[in-house]
Amino acid sequence: MLAFNNDAEAAKALHQKFIELKNEISKAIVGQEAVVEAVLISIFSNGHSLLIGLPGLAKTLLIKSISEVLDLKFSRIQFTPDLMPSDITGSEILDESRQFKFIRGPIFANIILADEINRTPPKTQAALLEAMQEKAVTT
């Protein structure tokens, strides 16, 4: 971890890294500077982002590019009417040696793109929203 002499120095270093991130992301995403800034600010503030837009506006590419630039694990969940909470949180299975083994679901990624969440049952929505709020997964 870097040590700074004062807050002004730390803020200047953060701003420089912010500019470097924006420049790297702009190699893949063109013409969406305001959206890129908003998503990065959301990440820096330990928050969540809701991206709404027409198909083809590179929402998935934006999130995937950000996760690659930051070297974070990316996961995409396509919500469907038959999706169960265990499909996103993970579940225990009985392996070949007759031992229970937990298989992690896509919710265990650093950055998750939850697509069409309004199509899934309320209990599955609740599992996602609980993980977002609590920053923990209950299985």
- What pLDDT digit, counting tens, does each position of 80-104 carry? 999 999 999 999 999 899 999 999 9
User: Measured in whole angstroms, how far is the alpha carbon of residue 32 from the centre of its chain?
Assistant: 18
Which numeric CATH code is attached to 74-139?
3.40.50.300
pTM tops 0.95: no
- What was the pLDDT predicted at 74? 95
Q: What are the distances in angstroms from CA 67 to CA 71, 83, 122, 134?
A: 6, 25, 28, 21
Classify residue 89 by burial, with Cβ atoms within 10 Å: 0-12, 13-18, 19+.
Answer: buried
Determine the Cα–Cα distance for residues 114 and 30; give it in Å rounded to an integer: 23
Encode pLDDT of 104-132 as tens digits.
999 999 999 999 999 999 999 999 999 88
Residue among 51, 50, 43, 48 nearest 18 (CA): 43
- pLDDT of 139 higher than 90: no
3-state secondary structure the chain: CCCCCCHHHHHHHHHHHHHHHHHHHCCCCCCCHHHHHHHHHHHHCCCCCCCCCCCCCCHHHHHHHHHHHCCCCEEEEECCCCCCHHHHHEEEEECCCCCEEEEECHHHCCEEEEECHHHCCHHHHHHHHHHHHHCCCCC
The gap from C-alpha 51 to its chain's centroid, in whole angstroms, comes to 12
pLDDT for residue 1:
62
Residue pLDDT, tens place only, 25-71: 999 998 889 999 999 999 888 888 888 888 888 889 999 999 999 99
